[in-house]
Structure 1
């Protein structure tokens, strides 16, 4: 007979955070709160005055959620201390709050409990609890090594080609390397990377960092082990690689053709430079946030293509946002199987579980709902057109950071809405939904089946 004794309040509160998703959401929220507090200090601004609370909150959320949208210019508004805070928030957000916490636990105690492993597994998307400690080490090592290599290449280029001092070139190289690998899109330049639109060293280096960070750690590790044996790749790696290549090619072709004669974007460039700018734009819409051309001058077809690419995003367990290429690719396989009348969804020689299919559908529908709802609200409280507002909303939710230039002129209530979108987009719609649930509910019976008309 169940006990009727009411449990203590502290025990009931602890039950609310048993699910890893809840702890992850709380961890990101705590990081945003700390970042907001630090950016609110007078020392964080060049003027020595306290930043507006909404600006501090917006910037901290954008940094932790590796988005890149800003209400104030990063290079001129924030001081060296403020920029350092932003850089640390980007790094923390990219690696994941739970990943960092797990690393610190390993370093301090050399022990990792089952609960801590489970939390780290949820953040790193590792498939085995026993591998979490090694996975976290490899994630940190891979991230820092990649950022160091990218920073070196950029610093050398800034110093030798653009006559920057050694200190300035090194600082800019490190800042843009961390921002690129973590798909954040923050830049110390007011116009992002527009001044380097014809420079393949900077464009391709930044693009490579973005792609590596956006592929996802499990995919990168598997490719490193078995890049010569595609037949042995997992379903996630197969879908991620195939969709990444396809979407990069699609975006490059669309941007190059659509903007080929646009005098405000690709028009002044020669043939190879147009192709370089098209590839860079295609890469950045995969949630990176840098831009080498004026986003506000893009033609409508380019804005629409950007919306699609931003919404899809990058790989799972990486630093990219969006619904993820694995979600989009899995839904494409579901559609293909349904059109062929097959009962199972197969990728290569593997069958995809029904639970994965439901998860992909849930993420896609929740994301569509969030984008449509936020777009309707922003249209109601601002005077901007649908294409501009939709671009801003998708950019925030997919943690991209690209903007047509309206972010700084939005009213405070619109900024707060974008903050919510960035937060929800970073931790994931399904993760957020499960974090709000107090417990899992298992149905102990099945109802009679009845088919309905669909379509």
Structure 2
């Protein structure tokens, strides 16, 4: 008698044929390794393209370290630079940087969304249905719809931002229409993908009081930092706020709180600083304060000189950079969801509640453990490089910490010391940008995929805490 194809002996692992044919089966056992390998190949290709003599504006080609650092910063949508993007690279080189930014931003949003699909398919049917009901954006759909959705959102926001910027550069600053179009497209793509690369030697300091430049860029940065699942859910007009998923409500609330709080903090702290906001008129100070509150959480544009900020302001900006933006977005950091889960867990512990609640849902202990793991590992990823550079460089601790967090959180803001660091310090920043872009996403997915049930529980132990 023939044995059905899905029937196995008792000692053999059962694997349905339908699951073996799923399109997400590739890399399912170790998706993190597949993702890291893909990004590494992208970095290799980008570095080779920037090494070509045609990529540099001056004579000869770029140095290996300059090309590698720039390719990493662009593909990881960071924005840190060891050379002046406006003068060091030729038009071809700038176009390659733009291409790397677009590929990096699109890849991050797609990666996070597809990992959500992968995770949901690895769960049981009940958990999958619950996850789909909770997210209402990335659930049991197919890969094609995710790819098309990310592409549609990216191109729409970038095109709208580029249109406004192009018109402003042409009518307000006397650039020719081809020049304005290039400037508009480059900065729109850099803004939505939270990269922070600019085609001006002083970044956007020359436009600090121009709302037609700063506000479209800031809006594109905010939308890119919300994430694909949130934007998709907001686009569904038949959905009411009360019906939004926990993830969407959490991302919007935390984004609003950090934007308002960050704007007040930066504006008040730098109001009288002649090196930053103090040199502007009152409306310009408010605009620049808002702009500088948006950028640390996601992108590396700056309309004032970060190197001239007060030490206390730099520390506050460090916190904003470390928290970052929304999950499945082009932003970096530990993400606002991780930060909010930890806050809710702390409040519940202080109140003596047995469970932590977020909106109208109870948080599972697994989610809290995952958030704690991501946060503490990220702290370690910042502290070790900071100590290493601080012990072997002449710069102050606040400058080094600012640079390290900016690299790890893929922000791109700089106090101006990146280009002057020793080559091996710059290599540390390269590793940080790579790890900061892939680390939180792949680590979080790995923690979920490793969730397992034990058939027994050991006796409870209570070590002293505090």
TM score, norm. by length of structure 1: 0.88
Please state how far the C-alpha of 1:362 moved relative to its aligned partner. Answer: 0.7
Tell me how far apart the structure 2 counterparts of residues 161 and 368 of structure 1 sit (CA, whole Å): 44
Tell me how far apart the structure 2 counterparts of residues 309 and 227 of structure 1 sit (CA, whole Å): 33
Unmatched tracts of structure 1, length 5 or more: 4-13, 104-113
Please state how far the C-alpha of 1:341 moved relative to its aligned partner. Answer: 1.4
- Label 1:25 to 1:170 Cα distance change in 2 as closer, same or farther (>3 A): same
Please state how far the C-alpha of 1:302 moved relative to its aligned partner. Answer: 1.1
Output one character per residue of 1:263-285: Cα deviation in whole Å (capped at 9) or x when no partner: 11111212111110100000011
2:381 paired with 1:370: yes
Tell me how far apart the structure 2 counterparts of residues 403 and 336 of structure 1 sit (CA, whole Å): 34
Please state how far the C-alpha of 1:440 moved relative to its aligned partner. Answer: 8.1
Output one character per residue of 1:143-200: Cα deviation in whole Å (capped at 9) or x when no partner: 0111011001000000000000111100000000000000000011111000000101
Tell me how far apart the structure 2 counterparts of residues 23 and 227 of structure 1 sit (CA, whole Å): 38
SS at structure 2 position matched to 1:307: helix
CA contact (8 A) 2:324 2:409 kept: yes
2:316 paired with 1:299: no
Please state how far the C-alpha of 1:445 moved relative to its aligned partner. Answer: 4.2
CA contact (8 A) 1:363 1:430 kept: no
- Label 1:368 to 1:445 Cα distance change in 2 as closer, same or farther (>3 A): same
Which residues in structure 2 correspond to 1:244-283 (within 5 Å)? 244-283=255-294
- Label 1:214 to 1:446 Cα distance change in 2 as closer, same or farther (>3 A): same
Q: Which of 400, 406, 426 is residue 411 of structure 2 equivalent to?
A: 400
Tell me how far apart the structure 2 counterparts of residues 130 and 429 of structure 1 sit (CA, whole Å): 24
- Label 1:442 to 1:62 Cα distance change in 2 as closer, same or farther (>3 A): farther
Which residues in structure 2 correspond to 1:17-28 (within 5 Å)? 18-28=29-39
2:220 paired with 1:225: no
* Structure 1 moving runs of 4+ over 6 Å: 14-17, 100-103, 114-119, 433-436, 438-442
Output one character per residue of 1:279-306: Cα deviation in whole Å (capped at 9) or x when no partner: 0000011121000001110011210111
CA contact (8 A) 1:240 1:326 kept: yes
CA contact (8 A) 1:62 1:70 kept: yes
Tell me how far apart the structure 2 counterparts of residues 131 and 246 of structure 1 sit (CA, whole Å): 34
Please state how far the C-alpha of 1:314 moved relative to its aligned partner. Answer: 0.5
Which residues in structure 2 correspond to 1:94-173 (within 5 Å)? 94-96=105-107, 99=110, 127-173=138-184
CA contact (8 A) 1:27 1:98 kept: no
SS at structure 1 position matched to 2:279: coil
Tell me how far apart the structure 2 counterparts of residues 102 and 127 of structure 1 sit (CA, whole Å): 6
Please state how far the C-alpha of 1:132 moved relative to its aligned partner. Answer: 3.4
Tell me how far apart the structure 2 counterparts of residues 421 and 180 of structure 1 sit (CA, whole Å): 21
Instruction: Give the corresponding residue for 1:56.
Output: 67
Tell me how far apart the structure 2 counterparts of residues 376 and 358 of structure 1 sit (CA, whole Å): 27
CA contact (8 A) 1:28 1:97 kept: no
CA contact (8 A) 2:169 2:175 kept: yes
2:49 paired with 1:38: yes
CA contact (8 A) 1:74 1:187 kept: yes
TM score, norm. by length of structure 2: 0.86
Output one character per residue of 1:80-117: Cα deviation in whole Å (capped at 9) or x when no partner: 111111111101110116939999xxxxxxxxxx9899
- Label 1:439 to 1:256 Cα distance change in 2 as closer, same or farther (>3 A): closer
Which residues in structure 2 correspond to 1:161-200 (within 5 Å)? 161-200=172-211
Tell me how far apart the structure 2 counterparts of residues 433 and 301 of structure 1 sit (CA, whole Å): 32
Tell me how far apart the structure 2 counterparts of residues 212 and 101 of structure 1 sit (CA, whole Å): 16
Tell me how far apart the structure 2 counterparts of residues 445 and 132 of structure 1 sit (CA, whole Å): 38
Tell me how far apart the structure 1 counterparts of residues 365 and 245 of structure 2 sit (CA, whole Å): 17
Tell me how far apart the structure 2 counterparts of residues 350 and 440 of structure 1 sit (CA, whole Å): 20
- Label 1:205 to 1:17 Cα distance change in 2 as closer, same or farther (>3 A): same
2:336 paired with 1:332: no
SS at structure 2 position matched to 1:428: helix
Please state how far the C-alpha of 1:381 moved relative to its aligned partner. Answer: 1.9
Instruction: Give the corresponding residue for 1:347.
Output: 358
Please state how far the C-alpha of 1:205 moved relative to its aligned partner. Answer: 0.5
- Label 1:236 to 1:101 Cα distance change in 2 as closer, same or farther (>3 A): closer
SS at structure 1 position matched to 2:381: helix
SS at structure 2 position matched to 1:343: coil
The farther-off stretch of 175-184 and 131-140 is: 131-140
Tell me how far apart the structure 2 counterparts of residues 225 and 179 of structure 1 sit (CA, whole Å): 26
Instruction: Give the corresponding residue for 1:9.
Output: none
Tell me how far apart the structure 2 counterparts of residues 329 and 115 of structure 1 sit (CA, whole Å): 24
Tell me how far apart the structure 1 counterparts of residues 456 and 96 of structure 2 sit (CA, whole Å): 52
Please state how far the C-alpha of 1:135 moved relative to its aligned partner. Answer: 2.2
The farther-off stretch of 264-273 and 292-301 is: 264-273
